[in-house]
Every structure is written in C-alpha cells, then in structure tokens.
Amino acid sequence: MAIKFQYNKTSQQVLEKSLRMRLRALPTLQSKESALRMEVRKARDQIKELENELEKQIGSYDKMLGLWTEFDPTLVRVKDVNLSKKKIAGVPIFVLDGVEFETKQFSVFNRPKWFLDGVSLLQNLGEIGIKRDFFELKLNKLEYARKKTTQKVNLFEKVQIPGYEDAILKIKRYLEDEENLSKSSQKIMRSKKEAREEKEDSIW
C-alpha cells in the first residue's frame, strides 16, 4: 500500500500522528491475536473431546441395538437451549449453559424394559451433539476473528508502519535539502552583495 503524502511540514505531522497511533495499537492487536489463537486451540480440543465422548457413549450402548429399530425417537425432543453471552479477547461469543429436553409420557408396562435407558441415552447423545455443534460455531467465529486480527497485525507490521516511517524519512530529507539549498542560496546572494558593495566602495 503506497502512502500518499506531500513534501511539507504539515504532511509530515499528519504522517507522524498516524504512525504513533499504529505503534500504540500494535501491542494490543498482537495480544488479541495471541489470545484468539489460544481460544481457537481450546475450541478445537473441546470439539475433539466431545466427538470422542460421542463415540464412547454410542459404543457403550452397542448391546441395545434394538433401540434403533424399536425405540420411538419422537418421545424425546429438545425443549430449549440455554445461552448466555460473554466476550473472549474482545469477540462476543455465546456460551452454552445447558440443554433442556421434553419427554412424552408413555407406559413402561407396554414398552421394553430398556425404554427408560433409551430416553436417557438419547438425551445424553443429544446434549453431546448439540455441544459439539455449538463449539463448531464458536470455533468458526473465533477463527474468523483471529484471521482478521492477524491480517491487521501484518498490515501494521509489514506495510503501514514501515510505509509511514519511509515517507516521514523522505519528507525530512527533502526538507533538510530544501533548507540547505536555501542557506546556500542566501550565502551566495550575501557574498555577491558584499562583493558588489566592496566594488562600489572602491570606486569612491
């Protein structure tokens, strides 16, 4: 990104102000990026744990194969998902506080004896699955925020800060050259004036 500027003191002051602003903001952005990286890692680990737990739960109920053919899945449904909100590294994130299930009434006398276990199993699997999906959404949001923050850090570090520093240096050199040239011109003019005055004095 090319920094637009003019070779004058006002432009230099504007660039110096922009540079100071970015130098102050950079450590905060770097801290945010680091915190988001850590949170992304934690969210990935949580998803992996939930997936492993889901497999483990399903595996432990292999003996109840009849559940999947005889059980009525409409007996259990999700009634509500309780959420709250908090900020993680400045990013607003929903927090899953719990899952509420609703179970239809049924007669245990007309059902196999494992039906109650089936209800409990579905609720358990449902909660783990919802948590897993929830953490997937959380991961996506955190990953997006991390990428945007990384882009901004890179923009400041590799483009804007060096660009402003280079532009300010160019203006300083230009103004110094202008000042030196002006001094030299004044010196030459003074020398010519003095020479002219000496010549005039010698005539008289």
Q: Does residue 4 surpass a pLDDT of 80?
A: yes
Please give the pLDDT value at position 46.
Answer: 94
Domain 9-175 -> CATH class: mainly alpha
pLDDT at 108: 67
Share of the chain above pLDDT 70, in %: 77
pLDDT of residue 186: 64
Of 91 and 61, more confident: 91
* Amino acid sitting at position 183: K
21: confidence class by pLDDT, cuts 50, 70, 90? very high
CA angle 80/84/151 to nearest 5° reads 125
Residue 106: per-residue pLDDT = 72
How far apart CA 155 and CA 18 sit, in angstroms, is 14
- Of 162, 185, 62, 71, residue with least CA distance to 119: 71
Please indicate whether residue 200 or residue 14 has the higher confidence score (pLDDT). Answer: 14
Which string of b and e fits 29-58 if b means at least 16 CB within 10 Å? beebbebbbebbeebeebbeebeeebeeee
Domain boundaries, the chain: 9-175
For 22-54, what is each residue's pLDDT tens digit?
999 999 999 999 999 999 999 999 999 999 998
Residue 172 amino acid letter: K
pLDDT higher at 95 or 2: 95
Average pLDDT over residues 86-112: 83
Among 129, 130, 125, 132, CA closest to 48: 132
pLDDT of 204 above 90: no
Alpha carbons 15 and 18: distance in angstroms, whole number: 5
Question: pLDDT (tens digit, 9 = 90+) per residue, 110-155?
Answer: 776 766 777 888 888 889 999 999 999 999 999 999 999 999 999 9
Highest mean pLDDT: which of 36-40, 98-102, 172-176? Answer: 36-40
The stretch 97-113 carries a mean pLDDT of 79
